[in-house]
Structure 1
Amino acid sequence: MSLDPESGRPLYAQLADVLEARIASGEYAPDRMIPTPASLADEYGIAQMTARRTMRELRERGLIYTVPGKGSYVLPAGPENAEAEGNNPGEK
């Protein structure tokens, strides 16, 4: 899927939707690294800052986590990632 630079929707949000669909389809498996911002920038012809904003969007959506110095990984589905979604799993 390509991005539409003519759209009023920000490119980072469009790319986040593309990556979210890839995660949902299983193309990017849980606990596996997703492409780096640099590779996404090359693949989609966007600025690296836009690609980094996409990663932040995916973290905010609770879909990925980032390990400094290593990369970003797909969060497993289920209650074990509730903390990443802003919930405290220890609270009942």
Structure 2
Amino acid sequence: MTEGDDIRNLDRRGPELVYAAVADAVAAQIASGELKSGDRIPGELEMAATYGIARMTVARAVRELRERGLVQTVRGKGTFVL
């Protein structure tokens, strides 16, 4: 089972927020070294397709990652791991 499947199977009426689950999944990739400083994370549309969620939910997850200080978005370029 992949991370995308974990999020697709999330009880959307349960206590865990979908955007937080996506942010946690990306944060785990950063912590494990799978994503390194300077790496570009997938775009919103790609992540939405991967996780089977709305693009706006992905946008909220990316905002959460920025608030955590894990990524930086450069307009027109993408979002990169700090």
TM range (shorter): 0.7 to 0.9
1:53 & 1:12 partners in 2: Cα distance? Answer: 6
Q: Which residue number in structure 1 is paired with residue 76 of structure 2?
A: 69
In structure 2, stretches of 5+ residues that fail to align are none
Is the counterpart of residue 49 in structure 1 residue 24 in structure 2? Answer: no
Between the two proteins, the alignment pairs up a number of residues equal to 75
Give the secondary structure class of the aligned counterpart of 1:5: coil
TM-score by length of 2: 0.87
RMSD: 0.9
More relative contact order, 1 or 2 (CA 8 Å, 6+ apart):
2
CA–CA distance in structure 2, aligned partners of residues 55 and 5 of structure 1: 21
Larger radius of gyration: 1
**Matches of 1:71 and 1:54, distance apart in 2:** 14
Query: How far apart are 1:49 and its partner, in Å?
Result: 0.2
Where has structure 1 moved over 2 Å in runs of 4 or more? Answer: none
- The partner residue of 1:18 within 18, 25, 28 is 25
Distance in structure 2 (CA, Å) of the matches to 1:62 and 1:16: 12
Q: CA deviation at 1:32?
A: 1.0
* 2:41 match: 34
The structure with more helix, counted as a fraction of residues: 2
Q: How much has 1:34 moved relative to structure 2?
A: 0.5
